[in-house]
Amino acid sequence: MKPKGLDHYKDAGKRAMQWHAENIKKMKQCRFDTIAVHGIYSMQEALDFNQGSIIEPIYMSTSQAYRDSDEMEAALSYQIPTWCYSRIGNPSIYYMEGVLALLESYGAGVDASCIATASGMAAIQSAVDQFLIEDPKRPNAPMNFVATTQVYGGTFQQFAIRKEKERNIEWRRVINSNDISEWESKIDENTRFIYGEMPSNPAQAFFDVKKIVDLAHKYGLPAIFDSTVATPALLRPLEFGADIVVQSVSKSLFTSGFGIAGAVIARKNITTNIDNPEMKADFCAYLKQLPNRDNGPNISPMNAIMALNDIRTIRHRMDVASRSTMTVAEFLKDHKHIEGVDYLGLKEHKLHELAKEYLFLVDAEHDEQYGSPQNRYGHLMSFRIKGGAENTRKVFDAFQRIWRATDLGRIKSVATIPTISTHAQQGEEGRKLAQIPPNLIRLCVGMEHPDDIIADIDQALSTLDGKTISVTSPEYSAAGASSARLV
C-alpha cells in the first residue's frame, strides 16, 4: 500500500478543525438552554462519526487506532485533531468539555476552552499549579498567592497543607473578601495568582467579581474563581473578565449524584506574569496536551457523559431550586429556634445588594415566563440553631426527608454540619477564618416540593420543644441493624 503521507492527514485535520470551529461558532449563536441541550454534538457529528447515535456515546475505550504510521505521527505530535489515549483526550470527554466551555463563556464575548478532570479538587490543582513554578529569571525567589479563606474545606487543605506546608508557597489569606483593599495589600512581585470562591461554601461570602478581576489584571495576574455554587446558569465570571473558572462538576451540574467530576474553563489569552506563550494563548489546551497528560488527573468517559446528561437541564433546575430555597429561607428566618439564616437571597444578608448585581437566572429576559432579568441566588443556604452544637445535632438527627450527607447540589435535599464534616480537618482556627460556627447547618435544597422540605425542617426543629420523634420505626429496626453491619 502506498503511504498517504503526513500532508494528507494534516490537510484532512485542518478541514476537520475548521468544521468543528464552524459548528462551535454556530452553537455560540444559540441561547443558553439550546447550548446546554445540544452542546457541540451535532447531527452531522452523529451521522459521520457515531452511527447516527442521538445521544453522545460513551467511548469506554483507552485509545484510538490509526490508519498508518503517517496518521499516527501527525496525531501524536498534535498536528491533527486526535484523542489518542483517554488520559489525554476521549470523544465523550471532549463533548462534555465542549458544552462547559460554551456555557461558561455564554454572553461573555470571548472564546473559552475547557478541560475536564476527575474531581473539583483536581480541577483546582490543575488550574493553580501552572502558576506555581520557579521563574527561571529569578531562581529561588519566594512564591505566594492571594486567596480568600472562605473556601470549600478541601480547597482550604490543598492551599494550607499541600501548597503552604509541603511546598513552602505562601497562601496570603484574604479574610474579608468584600474589602478590595485587603486583597490589594497582599499582592507583591512574588504573587502568582488571585483566587476566590464565590458564593463560598458554606458561608456564602461574596465579593465584587469585576473589581477583583481588575485588581488582578492591574498587577498582571490571572484571576481564578471557583464558581461551583453559582453554576453558569446564575453567574459566569468570564463575562466579568475572569481568566479561569473552576467547577466542582460533582455538585449542581452533575446533580443526579452518580459520580465525581471537575472542570477548568479558561478564556483564550489569559493574563499571567509567567513567561509561557503557549499556556497564555490557550490555557486548557496547554493543560490537556502537557501538564495533565503527565500528571493524569483525567475524568472517565462514563462520568463525563453522565455529567453532560445532567448539565442539559441546569438552567431550569437552578431556577426552581433557587426559588424553593428562598421559600425555605423565608420560613426559617423568623423561626423561634433559629439564630440566623445565611442566604444571599434574603434582604437581611449583608451581601445581598452586591449579590443582586451579579446573580441572575441566565436568559430570564428571553423566557416566556419571565420576560425580564430575574435574580436567583442558588440552592445553597445555611442556618444557625439556637442553643449551640448539641441542639444543632438534635435537629440534624431528626431530619427524615432531608438527607444527612456531605454533599450538595443534589436533586434531593441534603444537609450537613460543616464543623464535623466538610470543614472538620482545618481545625478551630481555620474554621474561624472561614466563618463556620459549630451550630451551623448547611442545607442544599433539591427539586422536591418546598412544602415537604419545610415540613421536614419544622418537625426536626420541634424536637427542641421536647417532642420526641422516632426516626426509625420499631418494625424496621432489625433491617436497620442489618444494613449497619454492611458498613
454/325 Cα distance (integer angstroms): 10
- Least separation in angstroms between residue 467's CB and ligand PLP is 34
Dist CA 62 CA 93 (whole Å): 12
Residue 228 vs 375, nearer CB to ligand PLP? 228
Q: How far is the CB of 473 from ligand PLP (least distance, A)?
A: 34
Exposed, middle or buried by CB within 10 Å (0-12, 13-18, 19+), for 79? Answer: middle
In whole angstroms, the minimum distance from the beta carbon of 261 to ligand PLP comes to 7
250 binds ligand PLP (CB under 6 A): yes
Segment contacting ligand PLP by CB under 6 A, of 35-43, 148-156, 180-188, 302-310: 148-156
248 in contact with ligand PLP (CB under 6 A): yes
Q: Quote the cell numbers at residue 399.
A: 431530619
Minimum Å gap between C-beta 226 and ligand PLP is 5
Amino acid at 421: S
Q: How far is CA 281 from CA 49, 218, 271, 275, 478, in A?
A: 29, 19, 9, 11, 61
One of 13, 39, 91, 154 touching ligand PLP (CB under 6 A): 154
Minimum CB–partner distance for residue 157 and ligand PLP (Å): 11
By CB under 6 A, the residues from 169 to 198 that bind ligand PLP are 197
* CA–CA separation, 112 and 125 (whole Å): 19
CA distance 307 to 259: 8
- Cβ atoms 97, 113 nearer than 8 A: yes
251 in contact with ligand PLP (CB under 6 A): yes
* Closer to ligand PLP by Cβ: residue 260 or 332: 260
Task: Please identify, among the stretches 225-233, 291-299, 346-354, 444-452, the one whose residues bind ligand PLP according to the rule CB under 6 A.
Answer: 225-233
Q: Which of 13, 202 has the CB closer to ligand PLP?
A: 202
Q: Please say whether the beta carbons of 197 and 248 come within 8 A.
A: no
Q: How many residues sit in the footprint of ligand PLP (CB under 6 A)?
A: 16
121 binds ligand PLP (CB under 6 A): yes
| Burial bucket for residue 330 (CB in 10 Å: 0-12, 13-18, 19+) | middle
Helix axes 450-461, 314-333, angle to 10 degrees: 30
d(CA 410, CA 446): 6
Nearest-CB residue to ligand PLP? 120
> Residue 157 or residue 272: which is nearer to ligand PLP going by CB?
157
Least spacing, CB of residue 414 vs ligand PLP, in Å: 12
Q: How far apart are CB 109 and ligand PLP at their closest, in Å?
A: 26
As a whole number of angstroms, the distance between CA 211 and CA 240 comes to 9
Instruction: Using the rule CB under 6 A, give the single segment among 107-115, 125-133, 151-159, 412-420 that binds ligand PLP.
Output: 151-159
Torsional sign, CA 422, 114, 99, 60: negative
Which residue in the set 100, 260, 328, 398 belongs to the binding site for ligand PLP (CB under 6 A)? 260
Residue 325 lies near ligand PLP (rule: CB under 6 A): no
Residue 155 binds ligand PLP (CB under 6 A): yes
Q: Is 39 in the site for ligand PLP (CB under 6 A)?
A: no
Query: Phi-psi bin for 107: left (phi > 0), alpha (psi -120 to 50), beta?
Result: left
- Count of positions (residues) in the chain: 487
Name the residue nearer to ligand PLP (CB basis): 154 or 450: 154
Element holding 224 (H helix, E strand): strand 223-226
The minimum distance between CB 16 and ligand PLP, in angstroms, equals 32
Dig out the grid coordinates for 57 from the structure: 456515546
C-beta of 89 vs 262, nearer to ligand PLP: 262
Pairing of the two strands 338-342 and 380-385: antiparallel
Of 361, 453, 368, nearest in space to 411 by CA: 453
| Binding to ligand PLP, residues 261-290 (CB under 6 A) | 262
- Shortest spacing between CB 135 and ligand PLP, in angstroms: 28
Nearest approach, Cβ of residue 3 and ligand PLP (Å): 46
- Asked if 461 interacts with ligand PLP (CB under 6 A), we say no
Cβ distance 149 to 175 under 8 Å? yes
Least Cβ distance, residue 71 to ligand PLP (angstroms)? 36
Question: How many angstroms separate the CA atoms of 463 and 456, rounded?
Answer: 11
Query: What is the CA angle 149-154-155, rounded to 5?
Result: 45
Q: Which is nearer to ligand PLP, 64 or 419 (CB)?
A: 419
| Rg, C-alpha atoms of the chain | 24
Residue 6 makes CB contacts below 8 A (sequence gap 6+) with: 70, 73, 74, 79
Using CB under 6 A, which of 86, 119, 177, 191 touches ligand PLP?
119
Is 126 a binding residue for ligand PLP by CB under 6 A? The answer is no
Q: In the bound complex, what is the minimum distance in angstroms from residue 245's beta carbon to ligand PLP?
A: 11
Does residue 229 belong to the site contacting ligand PLP (CB under 6 A)? yes
**Separation in Å, CA 336 to CA 21, 348, 376:** 58, 17, 27
Cβ distance to ligand PLP smaller for residue 74 or 380 = 380
226 touching ligand PLP, by CB under 6 A? yes
User: Minimal distance in Å, beta carbon 106 to ligand PLP?
Assistant: 20
123 grid coordinates: 480541577
Where does this chain bind ligand PLP (CB under 6 A)?
119-121, 152, 154-155, 197, 201, 226, 228-229, 248, 250-251, 260, 262
